[in-house]
Chains A and B, each alone.
Chain A
Amino acid sequence: MSRPLPLKKKEGERLEFKGAQILHEPDKVARAVVAMLNTRGGEVWIGVREAPGRNEAEPIQDAENARTRLQDSLLDAIEPRLLHDEIELSIEGEDQGGPVLRVGVRPDSRRQPYAVLGRHGARYFWRRFDNRTVPLTREEIGSRFQPAASAKTGAQPPGRRMEPPEILRGERERLLSRGRRFAVVLEPDVGGDLIKQRLAQTDYLSDPTCSGTPRSSYNYAHALYHGGMVAEPKKGSLQVGDESFSLGVLGSGGIRFESALDNLHSRGIIDSAGRALFGTPGFPAPDVLVPEALTGYTCSTLRLAALLLSKEDLWDRLPEGPLWAALFLTGLEGWLLPPGIGLSFGWLHEIERHRYGEEVFAEEWLALNLDDVRDHPDACGLRLLRPLYWSFGWMREDDLPAIQSVGLGPPRL
């Protein structure tokens, strides 16, 4: 069945329209597709022209032939060579003013960055920023080739599927249905067999220094201040905390850290930043994510995963990789995220550019190599955080805070 044409929608990070004549310039389509492959995926519609009020469909002559030619062009023009499920070309809207072409784009984050191949071996890297296509900076390109290098290459056991396990689909729906939440979700591809009773006898969940994380940082052990450890037979997990902060460790080795979004808010910081900039007290304080909290909760949760993975005596059977990971933030509309640390100067004057415009940030599942998690948990945490920063318009690598500056102690990059 044909999809409805997006005639009432506007272009955005995950949606782009091109007129039918673009088929004469397939490199421009490749550019749009690569930009989405390097961001969070989406759809490119060819034969839909954006217009005030209502978009217009431009029928494509010999649509089937055009589809085949475009597919060949994209396969030749994009590196790494596209896999069958990374793009999907379909003919749509024959009964709605079409036919037009739809290119569905679904990136595999392990294979980023994608590039458009140019003449003489040149490679062009693009990404989406809101409704625009912008080039990746040198730092961004570098960062996407680092740090979990083996996970990037997609080195998987032969025959391993490339999709997250079924359990995470339900998890995603559950998290997105809750208001004003922050969540870090980690789940091994093939669950292990964690001896939860043994884990409960350790201080691993209550004492963050066991994972090299200072107590004074924002970290997963905050959940303990909100409730003692209990075994949840139904969930097969150890649970700590309450609605405000919760930490769950599943028998599979999966970890769920959740917090009310307001726990990542600090008026004190924005007050100081406002004064630094304007010299006036009472600067109206918007909702601001504290970068120290965002980074602390994310990276410390990865450190907890690293700690558990390194303790073989906790397992009857160790989990097998990759470790699927994602961040979820709901109730985010209108929030701000400062670059660097919370008190950094020089961003409030462009405050509107960095206000989050949607209700939800839901990260695509990232497949992390288990060895990388064990050895480089902070690097993995920063990989999780990067797309969130991008979605707030912070594109440079050093917009993310340094691990030391958020109180996490010596970095494990």
Chain B
Amino acid sequence: MAISSFVEILEDQNPWWRSAARRALSYPRRRELQRQVVARIKRLDDRRALVIRGPRQVGKTVLLLQVADDLLAAGWPPANLAYFDFSDDRLQATVSPRQVAEAHPAGFDPDLPHALLLDEISRAPHWDRWLKQAVDANDGARIAATDSGAALLQAAGEESGQGRWDEAICETYSLRDFAALHAIGDEDVGVILGRDPALTERYLAVGGFPEHAHNLDLPEVRRRLRRDIADRAIRRDLTRAGVEVEQVARLFAYLMESSGAIFTAHSRARDLQADPRSIRKWLDSLLATLLVFRLEPFHSRAAARLRSAPKIFAADPGLVAAFSAAAEDNRLRGLLFEAAVYRHLREAAHELEGELSYFRAPDGLEIDFVLSMPGAIIAIEVTSSTRARSEKLRRARQAADRLGADRLLLVHGGAVAEPAEPVRQVSLTRFLADPTGAVRSEEVG
């Protein structure tokens, strides 16, 4: 008999209610964010909820199912753990988070904490009001919810999550996550990359979308990414936000083809025959999808920063490859390198409590990324070239001196380090495998 009622669907999504040994579909590889979510839910002295935002298809649902698995494995009472996917196509009516929270299976113990893992929460009406009340009630509910960035944006104005929930961003896979999918047993990332050196190149080509990690048919991956991103993430999600989706899709394609370029609304307005204010609004919508990221210029004075134009990057190198008309050429390779480095620098900056920017002087001296941390400014220059030319190094050093950087790091495309230049050099693979270590390291070579 077909499952149709809310309770039947809920029971179907929580197989551990029937038998503690039952698990949701298990994926063995965990990403760092998943471990943080598990730790967060286990921490009973922190009543705040956690809302995980991320683009479509980056693995948010899998992450929640893995959290459920790990909680059960750690002895969490099965009846006090509820997972619910609000986008289940069997639902015939909208379901509120309250219904999920109050649907207690046999064995539920009100004296123990109640973990609620809520997937695609923005599909539920008034989810943010409920979340505020649920956190304020402080009745032992431990809540983690996910949704796409764009969907959550629409509800964000209704109720403030301030003090009630924290946000975490679930990005596409890092190179470490991507490599771990190819591990034999518990192999270290360095060993995996030594065994399969093309993984970095494959990561650049298909990006960190887990679905495509094993697919070497690159044209097919690119077609799928274009279709999934343009048709679903942009057209479907942003239609609900009330923006002109076809124009936004065109702007998105432009931003992917020129990922890392300085963005001026006036120039794009001319290209798209639109008003600059509309262009800014569309850009904000795209930023909310987390498919693009903004990088502000480096200035010692905040006021000067406000007057300067940001750079806009693709969230993931796979998006650049998918939306670029050109085949594998040097220009595209440069864009892929920068998108990948920025993807990983965001993580490092978060970990090191630093701030990212780029540097450009009026005379053209440039640094691709500047990481400003308490007590240190690190200039990071990226080249896809396998051999760093002396002239490029000289200019990078000049630029680093100009902005007052404490250190300069060159990320290059070579497989092995070029000998003896007085600049810290690291190959792209080594950098992506450990970006925090690379920016921290004092070592030369």
Q: Do A and B bind each other?
A: yes
Tell me the minimal C-beta distance from B136 to chain A in angstroms.
39
- Give me 23 A-to-B residue pairs in the complex whose CB atoms sit less than 8 angstroms apart, sorted by A's number: A215-B198, A216-B198, A216-B202, A216-B204, A216-B218, A222-B197, A222-B198, A224-B415, A225-B197, A226-B197, A228-B416, A245-B197, A266-B182, A267-B184, A268-B182, A268-B213, A269-B214, A279-B25, A281-B28, A292-B216, A342-B214, A404-B217, A409-B218
- The answer to whether B216 and A405 touch across the interface, beta carbons within 8 angstroms, is yes
- The answer to whether B26 and A281 touch across the interface, beta carbons within 8 angstroms, is yes
Known: A219-B198, A405-B217, A407-B217. A267 touches B328 (CB 8 A): no
Q: In the bound complex, what is the Cα–Cα distance between A203 and B415 (angstroms)? A: 13
Counting CB contacts under 8 A, is A126 at the interface? no
Counting CB contacts under 8 A, is B364 at the interface? no
Query: Among residues 363 to 413 in chain A, which have CB atoms less than 8 Å away from a CB atom of chain B?
Result: 404-407, 409
- The answer to whether A209 and B328 touch across the interface, beta carbons within 8 angstroms, is yes
User: Across the interface, which residues of B come within 8 angstroms of A218, CB to CB?
Assistant: 196, 198
Known: A206-B415, A265-B184. A217 touches B198 (CB 8 A): yes
- The answer to whether A214 and B205 touch across the interface, beta carbons within 8 angstroms, is yes
User: Across the interface, which residues of B come within 8 angstroms of A262, CB to CB?
Assistant: 184, 195
Interface 0/1 of A243-262, CB less than 8 Å to B: 01100000000000000101
Counting CB contacts under 8 A, is B185 at the interface? yes
* Interface size, B (range): 20 to 34
Q: Which one, A215, A227, A343, contacts B214 given CB within 8 A?
A: A343
Interface 0/1 of B180-193, CB less than 8 Å to A: 01111100000000
Counting CB contacts under 8 A, is B107 at the interface? no
Q: In the bound complex, what is the Cα–Cα distance between A227 and B197 (angstroms)? A: 12
Tell me the minimal C-beta distance from A408 to chain B in angstroms.
8
Q: In the bound complex, what is the Cα–Cα distance between A285 and B182 (angstroms)? A: 13
Counting CB contacts under 8 A, is A143 at the interface? no
User: Across the interface, which residues of A come within 8 angstroms of B197, CB to CB?
Assistant: 222, 225-226, 245
- The answer to whether A268 and B386 touch across the interface, beta carbons within 8 angstroms, is no
Per CB-CB distance, the 7 closest pairs between chain A and chain B, nearest first, are: A407-B216, A225-B197, A267-B184, A215-B201, A216-B201, A216-B202, A268-B182
Which partner residue on chain B sits nearest A267 by CB separation?
Answer: B184
Query: Among residues 322 to 380 in chain B, which have CB atoms less than 8 Å away from a CB atom of chain A?
Result: 328
Counting CB contacts under 8 A, is B194 at the interface? yes
Tell me the minimal C-beta distance from A151 to chain B in angstroms.
29
Tell me the minimal C-beta distance from A272 to chain B in angstroms.
7
User: Across the interface, which residues of A come within 8 angstroms of B214, CB to CB?
Assistant: 268-269, 272, 342-343
- The answer to whether A214 and B28 touch across the interface, beta carbons within 8 angstroms, is no
Main secondary structure on B side of the interface with A: loop
- The answer to whether A214 and B328 touch across the interface, beta carbons within 8 angstroms, is yes
Query: Among residues 264 to 320 in chain A, which have CB atoms less than 8 Å away from a CB atom of chain B?
Result: 265-269, 271-272, 279, 281-282, 285, 292-293
User: Across the interface, which residues of A come within 8 angstroms of B26, CB to CB?
Assistant: 281
User: Across the interface, which residues of A come within 8 angstroms of B182, CB to CB?
Assistant: 266-269
Known: A214-B218, A244-B194, A272-B214. A267 touches B202 (CB 8 A): no
Counting CB contacts under 8 A, is A263 at the interface? yes
Counting CB contacts under 8 A, is A341 at the interface? yes
> Which of B197, B206, B386 has most chain A Cβ within 10 Å?
B197
- The answer to whether A226 and B194 touch across the interface, beta carbons within 8 angstroms, is yes
- The answer to whether A206 and B386 touch across the interface, beta carbons within 8 angstroms, is yes
Which partner residue on chain B sits nearest A262 by CB separation?
Answer: B195
Q: In the bound complex, what is the Cα–Cα distance between A409 and B205 (angstroms)? A: 12
Known: A226-B194, A267-B183, A342-B214. A215 touches B416 (CB 8 A): no
Interface 0/1 of A343-354, CB less than 8 Å to B: 100000000000
Tell me the minimal C-beta distance from B441 to chain A in angstroms.
20
Tell me the minimal C-beta distance from B229 to chain A in angstroms.
20
Query: Among residues 163 to 213 in chain B, which have CB atoms less than 8 Å away from a CB atom of chain A?
Result: 181-185, 194-198, 201-202, 204-206, 213
Tell me the minimal C-beta distance from B23 to chain A in angstroms.
8
Tell me the minimal C-beta distance from A249 to chain B in angstroms.
17
- The answer to whether B217 and A216 touch across the interface, beta carbons within 8 angstroms, is no
Q: In the bound complex, what is the Cα–Cα distance between A214 and B197 (angstroms)? A: 13
Q: In the bound complex, what is the Cα–Cα distance between A279 and B416 (angstroms)? A: 41
Which partner residue on chain B sits nearest A259 by CB separation?
Answer: B195
Q: In the bound complex, what is the Cα–Cα distance between A262 and B183 (angstroms)? A: 12
User: Across the interface, which residues of B come within 8 angstroms of A222, CB to CB?
Assistant: 196-198
Which partner residue on chain A sits nearest B181 by CB separation?
Answer: A268
Q: In the bound complex, what is the Cα–Cα distance between A342 and B182 (angstroms)? A: 12
Q: In the bound complex, what is the Cα–Cα distance between A218 and B198 (angstroms)? A: 6
Q: In the bound complex, what is the Cα–Cα distance between A265 and B25 (angstroms)? A: 25
User: Across the interface, which residues of A come within 8 angstroms of B185, CB to CB?
Assistant: 267
Tell me the minimal C-beta distance from A306 to chain B in angstroms.
19
Known: A215-B328, A225-B194, A281-B26. A341 touches B184 (CB 8 A): no
Q: In the bound complex, what is the Cα–Cα distance between A216 and B197 (angstroms)? A: 9
Q: In the bound complex, what is the Cα–Cα distance between A288 and B202 (angstroms)? A: 21
